Amino acid sequence: MKDKYLSGSAGQIFYDRVFKNKEGLVGFLILAVILFVILPLSLDTFRLNMTGKYLSYAFAAMGLVMCWGRSGILSLGQGMFFGIGGYCMAMFLKLEASDPESTKIQTTPGIPDFMDWNQVTELPWFWYPFKSFPLTLALILIVPVIVSTIMSFFYFKGRVSGVVFAILTQSMVACTWYLIVGNQGYFGGINGITDLKTLNGWDIKTESAQTTLYFVCVAMLLVCWIISRFVSETRAGKVLLAQRDKETRVRFSGYNLTVFRIFVFGFAAILSSIGGALFTLQVGFMSPNLIGIVPSIDMVIFAAVGGRESLIGAVYGALIVNSAKTMFSEAYPTLWMFLYGATFILIVLYLPKGIAGLYTDKIKPLIFKSKDK
């Protein structure tokens, strides 16, 4: 048998890696049609904007699929990276919203309003990069990598893994939360960064802008999905999958797992950060309570409901859980929390592979029954 990765054109390799087979392609196309055509046609702008918000959580959930489902590193700290992206974007938008003209009633015009309220008279140094849009975009991608590498290098090197690492990432989120709340003058404290209006002069609050942002979000999501699929089919992705199941065996085969783990943790961090940035753009503000301990675990729940090993499942998981949350918590707030807790327990107990597992184990055999036999 010929090695299919050595023969075949670049397009063929790409197809094999990303979609694997026809089923993968169909799954991807269905998702694309739902997100690009069906939802925009059936929902009004308000609901579409909310869907866009849910989809920005799907980035974090996809990151978790990469680092938890496929590599066995549970991170309860995705909120921290979501927050990094969100705050980077919010800082850029805030600087644009607080030009000297519109802030002239302040004691120091030209700085964000919450700084003025907190007797900060000069723009702190770390706000300067956010005056430029390209730099902001770069920072959204770079900062999470730096933070995640620093935060994980020594732990992965010291073979901290599993539950203890999960606890540590949770503490990191708590630390970030306290950092933002404690620095009211620099990050807006518990209120967060609010009143974000324009992006390079383009009003992001109008209906047309929100629709556009939704499509941007979906396009980014699909691109990130393709990249993630590609990464998980590379050799690095396979090593990660192998070390999840048989760690010692991979170590004795001569792989330095620290590097691989840092890589996948950083990759998940970038995905969350992109999600956070899109979240800020669509919602128009960022606050520490959106990135604390509870939202971080919510992201894990999205991934778990969707199916921890399935990237497409993560998108559906984020969509379904969030829509259910909105629907139920509007009508029966009390019942919702019971339901949420109970559903989650049941899924962990009986559906460890989530919705995706339900499909591959139950529905698929039904559809393809005749073929198998």
Partner 1 sequence: MGDYTAEEIYSIFLMQSFSGVSLLCIYVLMGLGLYIIFGQMGVINMAHAEFLVLGSYTMCLFSDFVVESVPALTNFYIVLAIPLSFIIAFGVGYIVEWLLISRLYKRPLDTLLATWGLSLFMQQCFRTFFGAREKSATLPEWLLGSVAITETVEIPASGLVLLALTLLLTFGLILYTKKSKMGLRMRATTQNREMTNALGINTKMTDRITFAIACGISGIAGAFFTTIASTSPSAGTNYIVDSFLVLVVGGLGSLFGLFVSGGFLALLSSILEFFMTGSLAKVWLYLIIFIVLMKFTKGLFSDNVREK
Give the residues lining the site for partner 1 (CB under 8 A). Answer: 68, 72, 74, 151, 154-155, 157-160, 162-164, 166-168, 170-172, 174-175, 178-179, 181-183, 293-294, 297, 300-301, 304, 334, 337-338, 340-345, 348-349, 352
Structure tokens at 2: 């010929």
Under a CB-based contact definition with an 8 Å cutoff, are residues 317 and 362 in contact? no
Cβ of residue 179: shortest distance to partner 1, in angstroms?
A: 5
Cβ of residue 158: shortest distance to partner 1, in angstroms?
A: 3
Which residues have C-beta within 8 Å of that of residue 63, sequence separation ≥ 6? Answer: 78, 81, 267, 268, 269, 270, 271, 272, 275
Structure tokens at 241: 């999958």
Q: Which of 126, 130, 124, 98 is nearest to 112 (CA)?
A: 98
In this complex, which beta carbon is closest to partner 1, that of residue 52 or of residue 292? 292
CA contacts within 13 A on the Cβ side of 336: 13
The C-alpha angle 207, 210, 214, rounded to 5 degrees, equals 140
In this complex, which beta carbon is closest to partner 1, that of residue 39 or of residue 304? 304
Cβ of residue 318: shortest distance to partner 1, in angstroms?
A: 16
In this complex, which beta carbon is closest to partner 1, that of residue 301 or of residue 314? 301
In this complex, which beta carbon is closest to partner 1, that of residue 17 or of residue 157? 157
How does DSSP assign 175-231, residue by residue? HHHHHHHH-HHHH-GGG-B----EETTEETTSHHHHHHHHHHHHHHHHHHHHHHHHH
In this complex, which beta carbon is closest to partner 1, that of residue 230 or of residue 340? 340
Structure tokens at 360: 């591959």
Under a CB-based contact definition with an 8 Å cutoff, are residues 172 and 178 in contact? no
Cβ of residue 370: shortest distance to partner 1, in angstroms?
A: 35
The C-alpha angle 331, 82, 200, rounded to 5 degrees, equals 100
Cβ of residue 51: shortest distance to partner 1, in angstroms?
A: 24
In this complex, which beta carbon is closest to partner 1, that of residue 133 or of residue 338? 338
Under a CB-based contact definition with an 8 Å cutoff, are residues 68 and 300 in contact? yes
Cβ of residue 29: shortest distance to partner 1, in angstroms?
A: 31
What amino acid is encoded at 56 in this protein?
S
In this complex, which beta carbon is closest to partner 1, that of residue 124 or of residue 182? 182
- Rounded CA-CA distance 173/97 in Å is 28
In this complex, which beta carbon is closest to partner 1, that of residue 107 or of residue 171? 171
Under a CB-based contact definition with an 8 Å cutoff, are residues 297 and 304 in contact? no
Cβ of residue 117: shortest distance to partner 1, in angstroms?
A: 17
Cβ of residue 185: shortest distance to partner 1, in angstroms?
A: 12
Structure tokens at 289: 């309570």
